Structure 1
Amino acid sequence: MSTQLVPSLCPYCAVGCGYYLVVEKGKAIGVEYMTDHPACEGALCPKGNAVLEVLNHEERLQYPLKRAGDEFVRISWEEALDLAANGLARNIKKHGPESLGFLASSRCNNEENYLMQKLARFLGSPHVDNCARLCHSPTVVGLGAVLGTGAMTNNLIDLQNSKCIFAIGTNFTEAHPIVSRWAQKAKDNGATVIVADPRITSTSWMADLHLRINPGSDIDLLRGMMKVIVDEGLADKKFIDERNEGFEELLANLSDFSLEKAAELTGIPAGQIVKAAR
């Protein structure tokens, strides 16, 4: 039987790197790099390169299992769906639809998550959640307020055009290694990389300025930098006037905040805060 190359996407993070699975007799036996993929350009991080270890792992769940005593036994998909449907119906009848909860997943695509919430609404449950709410709820609120949507508004490749990259609350060289390739391209083109992280990480290794802030002082650092930008007249007034709301409220918030206070709270010398802001 001939070997096939099946295009696929790495499931481990949101970068969405592409590769080909080498399939023989219905089993993936290798990985080939997708050199024309726009995000990864044929590169894969260690997680992506190890995808076959998960795909072919002996403990990977491939079919429904039902507990029988201290063990699990294989059942058909039809039996599994009947068990799930009967369990939902039983609880609705006994406790009402609000007793049901549905947990969607960022491992699913948009259409699958949409169907999950449609199922919850159809059955009358208001309880729909997603595993990403814990880690992404602050970013959704922040991005929604600032950029109008709770997701990034630029494509990944555009990072290489940056003149300054400010990384705070992220260790992207480990969490999203392929992102670091585009950040490094920007750095090679002359961009300044600033990293705010209490720890020394692989992301901080590429930084021109590493601000080792006290844990939990991220907002204090940002306020200190904004204070410098406002006091030194570094803000883009035209951009603010045309595209921003709430700037007067920000000025009021910063009015009783000092650079010295920011330095005290963050543990970062005032001069480094000024350098980062400029």
Structure 2
Amino acid sequence: MTPPSIPLTRKPFEEQIVSQCAGCGCGCGYVLYKAQGKPVDLYGHPADPKGMGSLCSKGITLLQEVVQNPLRLLGFYLWQGQELLNISQEQAKELIREHLRGKVAIILDRHLSSLEEYLLARQLGDVFVDAPVLGYNPSEVFFNQWQNYMLIIGWEAEPVFSEVMSMRYLVDAVERSAHLVCVSSRYATLCAKAKRQVLLNPIKQLSFMNSLLEPEHTDPLVVELKKAMHLVKTLLLVGTDLLASPFRNQVLNILYRLKRRFGVDYSFVGDLMPLPAKELRDLVDSIDDYDSFVFFGNPLVQLPQEIRERIKEKFSVHFTLFPNLTSQYSTLVVGSANFSERDFIAYRNSFGRVYFCPQAI
């Protein structure tokens, strides 16, 4: 995309830069206005077919506020006992050369690790992610096509929590007379927009979704949905939290059978790893097999205290924007560049898309 011919801001600026936000899988285009090298204003790009000129509050914060946040971590830091010492880049490199050896585990984050980091990590050691790993197409339908379906079933899916701007296309679908059904354990945004709400715990959700595949069923809603799936174009939105649950295999089995029986299309919604990697639960079971670790983001918040203490006994490098729990258990802490501060290739999302996000700051 090229910069708008007429500036969108009324603030004084010296430079306007066009890029894409990697804050979630939507990859919305934006225009950043800068003066003296610093952001002064930010707009969604009006020609972007995904964001359609808008940016969500998460994207605005990641793009504009992270840069100037006083808590932002810059530089290189080494733990010595209870003291965190500021060291030089050369000292950090020497520590890494000396101690990052043997069998290495690399845990990647959604916002800090680009496709380049992923490819480098695969050469260095075993790659882990703090999200479900899917070995096939994570979505048959890109989110800006959701509005073309007449029946949409959301199964424990909350786009507004993860892929924020995609929610507007569900609203468009409802305004076009689509029948939106929300099967969920909580009444949230999707349920508020849906014409029918089925509020059940996860075990009862499995029973309800299985009932759509049974030849005979007397529940009026089940009968209605089965007829509709035979007659109209149907989309099933599946929350990735279900893939991180003990019910993962049952969920995938139901999805497979619904697709074969009714020809439904599907989209997973939420944080998802579409490329080969291992999940954090695999690291828990094999923590003693590794000699050193590399962390991006804050993955240790999802691991038990016992595992964190065992990691602390070994050498680890932590790349982060802000000091967090993972920083407390890492040997060397490195202030990382945000996706907007370098050329960034976003690859980890439930839509299976790859975005090139040129450096903007």
Q: Does 1:39 align with 2:50?
A: yes
Structure 2 counterpart of 1:19, from 30, 34, 42:
30
Is this contact kept in 1: 2:26–2:164, CA < 8 A?
Answer: no
Structure 2 counterpart of 1:272, from 217, 221, 224:
221
| Number of the residue aligned with 1:76 | 88
The list of structure 1 runs, each at least 4 consecutive aligned residues, that deviate by more than 3 angstroms after superposition, is: 68-71
Provide the C-alpha distance between the structure 2 equivalents of 1:34 and 1:150, rounded to a whole number of angstroms: 28
Provide the C-alpha distance between the structure 1 equivalents of 2:152 and 2:90, rounded to a whole number of angstroms: 52
Is this contact kept in 2: 1:209–1:276, CA < 8 A?
Answer: no
Alpha-carbon deviations, 1:154-185, whole Å to 9, x = none? 22221121121111121113332311111111
Is this contact kept in 1: 2:29–2:48, CA < 8 A?
Answer: yes
Structure that is richer in strand per residue: 2
Alpha-carbon deviations, 1:249-278, whole Å to 9, x = none? xxxxxxxxxx47xxxxxxxxx222333333
Residues 174 and 79 (structure 1), Cα distance of their counterparts in 2 relative to 1, 3 Å cut: same
Q: Does 1:64 align with 2:76?
A: yes
TM-score, with structure 1 as normaliser: 0.69
Structure 2 counterpart of 1:113, from 118, 122, 136:
118
Provide the C-alpha distance between the structure 2 equivalents of 1:32 and 1:199, rounded to a whole number of angstroms: 33
Alpha-carbon deviations, 1:95-131, whole Å to 9, x = none? xx3xx212123222223212211222xxxxxx32112
Is this contact kept in 1: 2:180–2:196, CA < 8 A?
Answer: yes
Is this contact kept in 2: 1:103–1:131, CA < 8 A?
Answer: yes
Residues 103 and 7 (structure 1), Cα distance of their counterparts in 2 relative to 1, 3 Å cut: same
Shift of 1:12: 2.5
Q: What code does the residue aligned with 2:100 have?
A: L
Provide the C-alpha distance between the structure 2 equivalents of 1:216 and 1:189, rounded to a whole number of angstroms: 32
| Number of the residue aligned with 1:169 | 156
Provide the C-alpha distance between the structure 2 equivalents of 1:17 and 1:103, rounded to a whole number of angstroms: 26
5+ long unaligned stretches in structure 2:
1-11, 228-361
Larger relative contact order, structure 1 or 2 (CA cutoff 8 Å, min sep 6): 2
Shift of 1:198: 2.3
Is this contact kept in 1: 2:23–2:59, CA < 8 A?
Answer: yes
Equivalent residues, number: 214
5+ long unaligned stretches in structure 1:
121-126, 232-258, 261-269
User: Aligned runs of 1:128-143 on 2, under 5 Å?
Assistant: 128-132=127-131, 136-137=132-133, 140=134
200-209 or 107-116, which deviates more:
107-116
Residues 218 and 153 (structure 1), Cα distance of their counterparts in 2 relative to 1, 3 Å cut: same
Residues 39 and 203 (structure 1), Cα distance of their counterparts in 2 relative to 1, 3 Å cut: same
| Number of the residue aligned with 1:213 | 200
Identity %: 21
TM-score, with structure 2 as normaliser: 0.54
| Number of the residue aligned with 1:192 | 179
Provide the C-alpha distance between the structure 2 equivalents of 1:66 and 1:43, rounded to a whole number of angstroms: 41
Provide the C-alpha distance between the structure 1 equivalents of 2:141 and 2:202, rounded to a whole number of angstroms: 29
SS in 2 for 1:106: coil
200-209 or 165-174, which deviates more:
165-174
Residues 24 and 39 (structure 1), Cα distance of their counterparts in 2 relative to 1, 3 Å cut: same
Provide the C-alpha distance between the structure 2 equivalents of 1:75 and 1:26, rounded to a whole number of angstroms: 27
